[in-house]
Homo-oligomer: A and B are copies of this chain.
Amino acid sequence: MDRIPILKMGEFLLVTIQVDMHDRLALSLQEELADAIVRHRSRGVLIDISALGMVDSFIGRVLGNVAAITRILAAETVVVGMQPAVAITLVELGVSWQNVRTALNVEKGMRLLRASLSDAPRTLAQDG
C-alpha cells in the first residue's frame, strides 16, 4: 500500500483514510492532494476517517496540514465520520485544527461544503 486514492466527485475531492499513515504515505497524500486540487480546480476536500478507531498526534498533524494546504489553494476541508473516541483523543492530544471543519458523514460534509461555497463565490482569479 503506497498511496491513498483521491476520488474526484464533481467539484470536490474525496479521500478515505483506512490505513495507518507513515511518514512517506502522509507526505505523498499531501502532495497528490495539492496537485489534484489545482488540476481539477476543486473547491473542497472531504476526508473520511470513519475507519480510524484511534489517532495519534502524527495523523492529527497530517490532517491539519492537509487542511492548511487546501485552504491556501482556496478550497475547504471537511473531515467526516470521526468516531467519538478519536474526537476525545484529538482534544487530549491538544491537536488544533484551525482550518478543519467536521461533519458526521460524507453527505453532511458535502452539504456543508456546498453551503460554504454559495456563501463565498469563486474569485475571478480561479474562474479564469
Contacts and interface: CB of A to CB of B under 8 A. Distances in A.
B4 A51 contact: yes
5 contacts: A1-B18, A1-B51, A4-B51, A16-B18, A18-B19
Interface of A: 1, 3-5, 7-10, 14, 16, 18-20, 48, 50-51, 81, 105-107, 110
A7 B18 contact: no
Contact of A4 (B1, B18, B20): B18
A16 B5 contact: yes
A16 B19 contact: no
Contacts of A14: 7, 14, 106
A4 B105 CA distance: 15
A81 B5 contact: yes
A9 B51 contact: no
A14 B107 CA distance: 12
A8 B111 CA distance: 13
A5 B48 contact: yes
A106 B48 contact: no
Contact of A16 (B7, B107, B110): B7
